[in-house]
Amino acid sequence: MPRYLGVIVIGLCIAAFAGQVGASVQNALLYKAACRGSTHAWLTLRHRAKSQRPSAALWYGQYQKTEGHFTRAFVWFHKAAEGRNALAALEVARAYEAGRGVSLNKVRGNEWLRRAARGGDVYAEMLCADQDYEGTDGSQNISRAAFWYRKAAHQGNAAAQYQWGRMEQMVFGGAANRRRGIVWWRRAARQGDTAAQWALAEAYAHGMGVLRNTKKSVHWDRLAAHAGVALAETRLGLAYAFGRGARQRLRRAVFWYRHAAWLGSAEAMYYLGRAYATGRGVTRNRELSRYWYQRAARRHLARAQYALGRVYAAGKGVGQNLKAADRWYRRAARHGYVPAQLRLARAYEEGSGVTQNDPRAVSWYRRAAYERSARGALKLASAYWRGRGIPLDRVEAYRWYLIARLNARPHSASAGEAANRMAFARLMLPASKIARAQHVAWVAERKWQ
């Protein structure tokens, strides 16, 4: 007999669990019938609820809530929650949070929310995790948020799996954590979570936690794009336009640009405008090009603002308007777009279209240099060396020549010019001043990195 005792106990547990599940299904069916107007159904449900059955009390409370009797609904929800029903505890928390059927009490609502989460309700676990991560209840607690995200993720919730993978990738860091983050993103993506699909595409595109693989990046971008994610649609369009991870198909690239633009993506609007300007994948049309550039520029995309400035300056698809061009150049430059900053600086330096003003030219060259532009750093160094628009300071000039060389691409014209200017400066300056300039330049470079 003892040999079969364990089997008997397991069988009884399974039977009890099956009975509970069956009772819950019956109560749910009674609730649906009651909502359709069946008097017998709601009377049976009320009888079961009064018989101290938490599942029946929950569904009878739902019925009362559907009928608009919030006070009665709260009583039954509370009764079911006292019987350790996690979903009922969540309903009690919602009632306290909204003040429906009971006095408004955020503190009590939060207590019941935590109780529902401890009872295993996935939605409550996600709410607790979001609260702890964002600090909406007054105190941020990343470790506690991680606990709730992990718990919900292990129950198969796709949103929790994405969030837990995101924390592994970006909060905890480390190669092992990044790899685990990819595993969780993949699980969420297979359930159709669009955020996870886009994140996986980004990871494969940049090699974050996985080996760089443009084909897999395009695969996940395609899934997210078909689900309506504008960022994925834009990147899929770029993949088709340049043949990265997919066969080059210009018309299909324009198709995805247009889809993303309709969803409000400024990047897609810019690339669609460029397609109309160059005639790649679509019939060349200057007016439509200007239209899409303008829509992207009004969404504060610096590249589009600069492109629109060039359209007005050249009079392509619209009458030439130098004032409008200058206005759009300035907007792009204020957003940190280096080509626009260099163009404005050159305009002030040469007096083309504006009054010649060396100090303003130096100001724009400085902004470009702080955006890590080698050309901007070279021009700023030349201004310091000659004392044009700024007090002469050849030590500072040498520092900016060095920064220009560090920021320039290897074997580029800017790198060669910076090296030549530095060699000339070494002949003119004492070694102590050169050492000081080098130290300041290296400190600045480390800060930028």
pLDDT digits (tens, 9 = 90+) for 274-283: 999 999 999 9
- CB-based contact 220:201 (threshold 8 Å): yes
pLDDT of residue 443: 62
> How far is it, in rounded angstroms, from Cα 78 to Cα 65?
13
Question: Within a 10 A sphere around the Cβ of 242, how many other Cβ atoms?
Answer: 12
The reported pLDDT for the residue numbered 14 is 33
Provide the pLDDT confidence category of residue 272 given band limits of 50, 70 and 90. Answer: very high
Q: Note whether 274 and 289 are within 8 A (CB).
A: yes
294 has a pLDDT exceeding 70: yes
CB 264 within 8 Å of CB 237: no
- pLDDT band at residue 445, thresholds of 50, 70 and 90? low
Average pLDDT, the chain: 84
For residue 9, what pLDDT is reported?
32
**Does the structure show a pLDDT above 60 at 246?**
yes
- Of 30-34, 164-168, 378-382, 408-412, where does mean pLDDT reach its minimum? 30-34
| pLDDT (tens digit per residue) in 96-139 | 888 888 888 888 888 888 888 888 889 889 988 888 888 876 67
Q: Quote the CA–CA distance of 5 and 387 in Å, as a whole number.
A: 96
445 burial type by CB count under 10 A (0-12 exposed, 13-18 middle, 19+ buried): middle
Distance CA 230, CA 261 (A): 8
Q: Per-residue pLDDT averaged across 30-42, rounded?
A: 76
Per-residue pLDDT at 290 = 93
pLDDT at 432: 74
Residues 184-239: tens digit of each pLDDT: 999 999 999 999 999 999 999 988 888 999 999 999 999 999 999 999 999 999 99
Percentage of residues of the chain with pLDDT beyond 70: 91
Give me the mean pLDDT over the 56-65 stretch: 81
What is the DSSP secondary-structure string of 169-231? IIII-SHHHHHHHHHHHHHHHHTT-HHHHHHHHHHHHHTSSS---HHHHHHHHHHHHHTT-HH
pLDDT tens per residue across span 379-435: 998 998 888 888 888 888 888 888 888 888 888 888 888 888 878 877 777 777 777
pLDDT of residue 441: 67
Within 8 A by CB and 6+ apart from 290, the residues are 273, 308, 311, 316, 317, 318
Q: Residue 57's pLDDT is what?
A: 81
Could you give phi then psi for residue 140, rounded to 5 degrees? -80, 135
* pLDDT given at position 12: 30
Q: What is the pLDDT of residue 18?
A: 37
Write the CB contacts of 439 (distance below 8 Å, at least 6 apart in sequence).
none
Closest CA to 303 of 278, 326, 273, 324: 273
Residue 15 has pLDDT above 60, yes or no: no
Band (pLDDT 50/70/90 cuts) for residue 86 is confident
Number of Cβ atoms within 10 Å of the Cβ of 136? 12
Comparison of pLDDT for 421 and 325, the residue scoring more: 325
Q: Which of 11-15, 173-177, 215-219 has the lowest mean pLDDT?
A: 11-15
Between 179 and 172, the more confident residue is 179
Residue 94 pLDDT > 80: yes
Token pair listed for 183: 């595993």
In this structure, the number of other CB atoms found within 10 A of the CB of residue 14 comes to: 10
- Nearest CA to 32 out of 63, 61, 75 is that of 63
Contact indicator for 394, 404 with CB cutoff of 8 Å: no
Q: Give the CA-trace dihedral at 213, 214, 215, 219, to 10 degrees.
A: 110
Q: Is the pLDDT of residue 266 over 60?
A: yes
Q: 178 and 144 in contact (C-beta within 8 Å)?
A: no
What is the C-alpha to C-alpha distance for residues 89 and 82, in angstroms, rounded to an integer? 8
Name the nearest CA neighbour of 225 among 282, 186, 265: 265
Average pLDDT on 328-354 reads 90
pLDDT at residue 58 in the model:
81
